[in-house]
Amino acid sequence: MKKAIEIESLSYSYPDGQQALKDVNLSIGVGESVALIGPNGAGKSTLMLHLNGILRSDGMIRVLGEPLEDKNLKRVRSKVGLVFQDPEDQLFSPTVFDDVAFGPINMGYSEDEVRRRVREALEGVGLEGYEGRSPHHLSVGEKKRVAIATILSISPEILVIDEPTSNLDPRAKWELIELLRGLPVTKIVASHDLEMVKALCERTILLDKGKVIADDSTHRIMSNTPLLVRHGLARPDEVSSLKLEA
């Protein structure tokens, strides 16, 4: 199978010396849908920021077979679309149109092409006619969708999404899951929303304290309750609601 992302012995420390990633090795195939789960502070977001070279450190990252280097950074970024957790960070333009058009314009597409891409990206997330709206006045669910549209408009081959369902009500969450399921690209989703992971990804990578703990099918990891409990992803035994009542 062709590889979308290959990571070899990647380590990263924050500027204050705290180690965020320790010797991470991963390989993700084209067309896969992979969940990156782990408790708060496990290093999920840090790992994602490496995938399109926003953070750089020692270790080797190959995107679609190409090693990530300074000279191909721009091309890699057009292949790997990164959707940030807080849409407020992702949407920085005065109108939805400007935001969705930002990527394509930077990629140097012609005006007609930019307009076509914006229209298609907004159609793709079910928000036709939102071009002139101000991102500030959208609901959280709409903001998340626009944030995804800003990435779809550069038609990436790999979609990397950080916590897509955080802050969403159940209806908006399931609508978003449906939307993501329908996108025909390689997906890497960081989350600790196990319900979504089960619905969206066939493979799951468990990350804790910057290390890969498990890498298996979602079904097998989800049925391994002791593992989930150990890494803060399920209710610990000693916290039982029965005891709380007593």
Partner 1 sequence: MKHSFLDHYSDLDSLIHKLDPRTKFIATFAFVLAMVLTPPTRWYAFALYFALIACVILLSKVPPLYVLKRSLVIIPFVLLIAIFIPFFKEGETAGSYNVWMWELKVTYSGLIVLWNVIIKAWLSVLSMIMLSSTTKFSDLLKGLGRLGLPTVMVMILSFMYRYIFVLVDEVIRMRRAWDSRNFGGKRMWQLKTIGNMVGTLFLRSYEKGERVYGAMVARGFDGQTRTLTDLRFQAVDLYYALGFAVVLALIGTTILLGWGS
CA-based nearest residue to 100, from 77, 76, 79, 116: 116
CB under 8 A: which stretch of 24-32, 80-88, 163-171, 175-183 binds partner 1?
A: 80-88
Out of 20, 35, 101, 205, the only residue in the binding site for partner 1 (CB under 8 A) is 101
Q: Does 92 bind partner 1 (CB under 8 A)?
A: yes
Binding flags for partner 1, 106-145, as an x/- string (CB under 8 A): xx---x--xx----------------x-xxxx--------
Binding flags for partner 1, 16-55, as an x/- string (CB under 8 A): ---------------------------------x--x-x-
Residues 146-185 that bind partner 1 (CB under 8 A): 150-151, 154
Out of 25, 60, 67, 74, the only residue in the binding site for partner 1 (CB under 8 A) is 74
Kind and range of the H or E element at 104? helix 96-106
HSE, side-chain direction, 13 A CA sphere, residue 56: 6
Q: Does 98 bind partner 1 (CB under 8 A)?
A: yes
Q: CB 31 → partner 1: shortest distance, Å? A: 22
DSSP for 75-102, please give it: HHHHHEEEE-S-HHHH--SSSHHHHHHH
Residue 57, φ and ψ in degrees, nearest 5: -155, -175
Q: CB 209 → partner 1: shortest distance, Å? A: 23
Which DSSP state fits 146? H
CA-to-CA distance for 51 and 64, rounded, in angstroms? 11
DSSP H helical segments within 156-240, as ranges?
170-181, 194-200, 218-223, 225-230
Strands 186-191, 158-162: pairing is parallel
Whichever of 2 and 137 has its CB closer to partner 1, that residue is 137
Task: Please give the residue ranges that form the binding site for partner 1 (CB under 8 A).
Answer: 49, 52, 54, 74, 77-78, 81-82, 84, 86, 88-95, 98, 101-103, 105-107, 111, 114-115, 132, 134-137, 150-151, 154
